[in-house]
A and B are shown apart, each in its own frame.
Chain A
């Protein structure tokens, strides 16, 4: 199969980027999207050119390292799939493919298709800890978790932090990511003691990192490789609103003033 690739090339964060066009002959349909890029890079190296820089790690769809906006959709056209699990059989011979980095102010391009997603790490750090005993695993029945809540918490915990939600959002908002992280503790008894403080701090950090606001476009939910629902954003809004009128909020303001 023959493909025309338009790939975003950018030397570094401050350089101006541009598209370069590459013709790929003999693309095998069993290749993953990243393997197709590997083949391109091998060719570029042989030609003495700079290979295309892109993020990847496990290539099993669970680590959240791979990115790419393919034909305007983060992780490409296949629903509920990361780029590494997208296969070339989803494309047709003669297709033109536009490959761009995840775009948002909070995700500056490092090189070519690699963006800096450390804003997500800062949000996670802002979330802080949960109060549990360390050491041996506790007896499983000492804290009871209703099955339904455990399932919902797991739905939220599926988030791999890839940033597709931010990339898909026309506002570059990180609401789905933060909502998933807030919600997976909100549904569990272990998450209750710090519940209010957690949502306040994570949302505050999200704003500091320059993400946009939510306009309820629901593009994030559609692009999410783990198909995390926007109902978690509703839950976060609810939690945030409750926390805004709590002792925890007053305490935060006091600490900031001190």
Chain B
């Protein structure tokens, strides 16, 4: 059986969607929590970034898992979508949805938009090709250093603030993050259903948590560009 042999099975395809989705959701949660360090201050965010870069091979293992998950998630979703379109060749003249939420019916579209947003996000902050003028090193002296060692590290804080001071970039991020939230509203509870965890007593709670978690992630991430635009953070750079 080849790596993509699972694609022949409808349920195994769904399981792969759920597991790769879970990996990506966990990453989004950790990423959001890490980003919140910007509210503590420049030093926290930059040390966090320096810590991540110091992980070396571990960082690359994490990246490999994320890239593999994203690729499998995308390939599987496209295959499922084409099969689904083929399975319903004629549409109803009138269709009343009873339970399907807008977020569940637009998963493929929010997915495609999130993918383009992620590509932009990586070009902007990871490869730093869209705004290379925002990239500065920071010369930093640790508080508890015995001698006066000066460490050079990447000034993430300044890059983020300079980026978000451009309202256009901020709007792209706000829209992108809201799309992620919309996708997650359906995705998180869907993961549990697909993997077979649906019992009468706690599934309604899982559904509520799915929406709540999506809203929390959106509020946290959106608060960064808004705070920069309003001048709550970044005054000191």
Residues of A within 8 A of B (CB): 6, 19, 69, 71-73, 77, 98, 100, 103-106, 168-173, 203, 206-207, 210-219, 221-223, 229-231, 233-238, 240-241, 244
Contact = CB atoms under 8 A, between A and B. Distances in A.
Nearest to A168: B98
B51 to A, nearest CB: 38
B193 to A, nearest CB: 5
Contacts of A233: 193, 198
Contacts of A219: 97-100
Contacts of B80: 213, 215
A204 to B, nearest CB: 8
30 contacts: A100-B93, A103-B88, A103-B90, A103-B92, A104-B87, A105-B87, A169-B88, A170-B88, A170-B100, A172-B88, A173-B84, A203-B10, A210-B86, A210-B87, A214-B14, A217-B99, A218-B99, A219-B98, A223-B98, A229-B200, A231-B199, A233-B198, A234-B192, A234-B197, A237-B11, A237-B193, A237-B194, A240-B11, A241-B11, A241-B195
A19 to B, nearest CB: 7
B46 interface: no
Interface string B86-113: 1111111111111110001101000000
Contacts of B57: none
B87 A106 contact: yes
Nearest to A203: B11
A219 B92 CA distance: 14
B14 A237 contact: yes
Nearest to A77: B96
Q: Which of B87, B96, B99 has the most CB of A within 10 A?
A: B87
A234 B200 CA distance: 11
A241 B10 CA distance: 11
B56 interface: no
B105 to A, nearest CB: 7
Contacts of B11: 203, 236-237, 240-241
B196 interface: yes
B20 interface: no
Contact of A72 (B92, B186, B200): B92
Nearest to A237: B196
A185 B204 CA distance: 26
A219 B96 CA distance: 10
Contacts of A98: 93-94
A235 B196 contact: yes
Given A19-B93, A171-B88, A219-B100, 19 more contacts: A77-B96, A100-B92, A103-B90, A104-B88, A170-B88, A171-B87, A172-B87, A216-B194, A217-B99, A218-B99, A222-B98, A229-B200, A230-B198, A233-B193, A233-B198, A235-B198, A236-B11, A237-B11, A244-B9
B87 A72 contact: no
B196 A234 contact: yes
A19 B195 CA distance: 42
Contact of B96 (A73, A170, A237): A73
Query: Nearest 6 CB-CB pairs, A to B?
Result: A238-B196, A212-B87, A222-B98, A234-B198, A72-B96, A217-B100
A203 B190 CA distance: 20
Interface string B175-198: 000000000001001101111111
Contact of A212 (B83, B194, B196): B83
Q: Which of A73, A104, A222, A234 has the most CB of B within 10 A?
A: A234
Contacts of A231: 198-200, 203
Contacts of A230: 193, 198
Q: Which of B80, B96, B189 has the most CB of A within 10 A?
A: B96
B15 A237 contact: yes
Contacts of B194: 214, 216, 234, 237
Nearest to A222: B98
Given A213-B80, A216-B186, A241 B93 contact: no
Contacts of B199: 231
A103 B83 CA distance: 15
Q: Which of A19, A77, A217 has the most CB of B within 10 A?
A: A217
A73 B94 CA distance: 9
A212 B11 CA distance: 11
A170 B14 CA distance: 16
Contacts of B190: 215-216
Contacts of B88: 103-105, 169-172, 212
A213 B9 CA distance: 10
